[in-house]
């Protein structure tokens, strides 16, 4: 798997600008994998349109459409295995992945978070809430983190971070914009290194 192109599934809930960066970097060769499936828990997520524009298969995964949680998670894992997915990237996906998926893809799932973990992570820390908390804490630096995914929000091994200065004039919006620019670079870089086996996995 280390020298071949990997099959990647991307999970989203919203705009999908990170998804777009992964698609673009895959096409340009900066990411040695192909985005072959995009999964969203929201049928109206703009990221689904980005996927369709790039001729990538999409799947709307809503647990409430199934009789039970286990039926839902089994169907999701079936979709991933049917498409020969090697790696998963969660890019603004606002739910926890089912445990069976986390276990099957152990050390092959990456998430991007818009702050310097382990600070400013955990349940409820997403989107604007993260940047508000960073500013309220008076941090002088922020930036994205790419980490491996386990069963707990924002808890897996940290793979990469980029630090950028926080200015006294920053609002949650201006900070989010500058962090997002770096996210678009960092996510592909980290996923490419993971695919190439360049990380020493030290947690579990």
CB 35 within 8 A of CB 23: yes
Residue whose CB is less far from ligand GRF, 67 or 152: 152
Residue whose CB is less far from ligand GRF, 16 or 98: 16
What residues make contact with ligand GRF under the rule CB under 6 A?
Answer: 12, 14-18, 91-92, 112-114, 180, 183
Looking at the annotation, which residues are catalytic? 113
Residue whose CB is less far from ligand GRF, 67 or 159: 159
Minimum CB separation of residue 81 from ligand GRF in Å reads 25
């Amino acid at each position: 798997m280390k020298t071949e192109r990997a099959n990647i599934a991307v999970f989203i809930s919203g705009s999908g600008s990170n998804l777009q960066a992964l698609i673009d970097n895959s096409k340009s060769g900066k990411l040695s994998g192909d985005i072959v499936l995009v999964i969203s828990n929201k049928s109206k997520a703009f990221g689904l349109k980005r996927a369709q524009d790039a001729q990538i298969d999409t799947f709307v995964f809503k647990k409430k459409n199934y009789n039970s949680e286990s039926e839902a998670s089994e169907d999701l894992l079936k979709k991933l295995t049917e498409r020969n997915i090697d790696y998963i990237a969660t890019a603004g996906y606002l739910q926890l992945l089912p445990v069976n998926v986390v276990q099957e893809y152990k050390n092959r799932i990456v998430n991007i978070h818009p702050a310097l973990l382990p600070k400013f992570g955990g349940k409820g820390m997403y989107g604007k809430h993260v940047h508000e908390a960073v500013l309220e804490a008076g941090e002088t630096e922020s930036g994205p983190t790419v980490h491996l995914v386990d069963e707990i929000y924002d808890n897996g091994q940290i793979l990469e971070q980029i630090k950028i200065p926080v200015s006294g004039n920053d609002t949650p919006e201006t900070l989010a914009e500058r962090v997002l620019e770096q996210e678009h670079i960092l996510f592909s870089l980290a996923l490419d290194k993971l695919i190439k086996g360049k990380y020493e996995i030290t947690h579990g």
